[in-house]
Amino acid sequence: MTMLGISDKDLLRFSLVWVWLATALVSVWELQGQSARLLASAGMNTPALATLLILGGAAVDATLGLAMWLKPERRTYLLALAVMLTMTAIATVLDPSLWLNPLGPLTKNIPIAAVLLVLARRPS
What is the CB neighbour count within 10 angstroms for residue 93? Answer: 9
Confidence class of residue 31 from pLDDT cuts 50, 70 and 90? confident
pTM for the model stands at 0.87
State the Cα–Cα distance between residues 109 and 93, nearest whole angstrom.
15
Confidence class of residue 3 from pLDDT cuts 50, 70 and 90? low
Please enumerate in sequence order all residues whose Cβ is within 8 A of that of 50, keeping only pairs 6 or more positions apart, or say none.
35, 36, 39, 40, 44
Question: Where is pLDDT greater, at 15 or 123?
Answer: 15
State the Cα–Cα distance between residues 113 and 80, nearest whole angstrom.
9
As a dihedral over the C-alpha atoms of residue 25, residue 33, residue 95, residue 16, rounded to 10 degrees, the angle is: -10
